[in-house]
Amino acid sequence: MRAMVVARPAPIEDSPLALLQRELAAPGPGQVRLEIEACGVCRTDLHVAEGDLPPRRRSVVPGHEVVGRVGELGPGCTRFRVGDRVGLAWVQHVCGECRHCRDGRENLCLEPQFTGWSADGGYAEACVAPEDFLYELPQDLTAEQLAPLLCAGIIGYRALLRAEVAPGKHLGLYGFGGSAHIAIQVARYWGCEVSVFTRGGRGRALATELGAGFVGEPFERPPRALDAAVVFAPSGDIVPPALAALDRGGVLAIAGIHLSDIPALDYEQHLFQERELRSVTANTRQDGRALLALAAEIPIRTHTRSYPLESANQALADLKHGRLQGAAVLVPGTE
């Protein structure tokens, strides 16, 4: 099979991903082989490619927004049949035994495995994954439309929960890419007023189209105080102004796996009056099931730009430099 691998972490402008022919192992007990239809391009993949996330596997295949068809079942698999459409997301194994798993917080597992970081992912024509960590997907949407839901959607949904977003509240979204353009659709469905803060012109136009009541620069003050906010951009310097924009008792959630340094905070300006700062760490499978059900109910429509598999470096560069409106998706077999 063809696969794009991180030959050596480096700036994406140096094309650290290389196209190789790889032999795919047969699925083991509890595993299935996926014939990949599409794989979304996530900022976490950029962090893996550039080395912001220390390598966990040599020459890893990135990608964790995987949509595919079941091609082969390993011993003991009973959930799916060959030909079923399924999705594979960021978390692909938890121990099930540590204190966090026992408490129902498997996203905080002490021995997790992650698709496209510690295990090969979806920048390929096929991959192998545990059956227990696959999601059932609808047949009536294209693979390109579905792919961003599997991380951008799930993590955005968890970030909204962490920020305690409630119907009718005023929500701020900082950064407006693949994840935020899904989160705003959830928030608007919940009846929230949404203000968006982003540097990119493409993002601003899409935010307005999707119902943002205010669109401004990241350091701009909102028209009124925010009840909750989510930072999607990987820039720590956005955190202080986002905290300062919160009303008393407001919550700010940081949705990324990697963030540049946060400048010094002023207690009275940024945290006093019970303002809260929270991180978001991976997701539980229940988060994934809940988001996919909500996506069908709303229904969520993702805005995507498709690239052939061998153009993964270009897709990641376009993501890094804000040249996308919505999300990028790799589609094996296209040119």
* Within a domain: 108: yes
Does residue 264 sit within a domain? yes
For residue 93, how many C-alpha atoms fall within 13 Å in the half-sphere facing its CB?
16
Q: What is the model's pLDDT at position 169?
A: 97
Examine residue 292 and state whether it is found in any structural domain, yes or no: no
Task: Establish if 17 belongs to a structural domain.
Answer: yes
Residues 43 and 69 in one domain: yes
Q: Are residues 112 and 200 in the same domain?
A: no
Domain identity same for 181 and 254: yes
Give the model's pLDDT for residue 225. Answer: 98
CATH number of the CATH domain containing 246: 3.40.50.720
> Are 17 and 313 contacting, i.e. CB atoms less than 8 angstroms apart?
yes
Residue in 218, 268, 224, 216 with CA at minimum distance from that of residue 246 = 224
Task: Please list, in sequence order, all residues whose beta carbon lies within 8 angstroms of the beta carbon of residue 1, skipping any fewer than 6 positions away.
Answer: 21, 22, 23, 24, 124, 125, 126
Within-domain flag for 146: no
Assign 199 to helix, strand or coil.
Answer: coil
| Full residue range of the structural domain in which residue 257 is found | 153-279
145 within domain boundaries: no
Residues 6 or more apart in contact with residue 179 via CB below 8 angstroms: 151, 152, 153, 155, 156, 159, 232, 255
In this prediction the pTM is 0.95
Last residue of a domain, one of 264, 279, 294: 279
Tell whether 84 and 191 lie within a shared domain.
Answer: no
Q: What is the mean pLDDT of each run of 10 residues along the chain (335 residues)?
A: 96 98 93 98 97 93 98 98 98 98 98 97 98 94 96 98 97 96 98 94 90 96 97 97 98 96 98 98 97 96 97 97 94 81
> Is 70 part of any domain?
yes
* 171 and 275, same domain (yes or no): yes
Q: Are residues 234 and 262 in the same domain?
A: yes
Per-residue pLDDT at 335: 63
Same domain, 273 and 323: no
Token couple for 16: 């650290």
Q: What is the H or E stretch that residue 227 is in?
A: strand 226-231
Task: Give a yes or no: residue 231 inside a domain.
Answer: yes
Do 126 and 158 reside in the same domain of the chain? no
Q: Are residues 218 and 271 in the same domain?
A: yes
Query: Are residues 115 and 195 both part of a single domain?
Result: no
Question: Residue 322 maps to which CATH number?
Answer: 3.90.180.10
Q: How many domains does one find in the chain?
A: 2
d(CA 247, CA 273): 8
Q: In terms of domains, do 78 and 162 share one? A: no
Q: Report pLDDT for 179.
A: 97
* Residue 83 shares a structural domain with residue 188: no
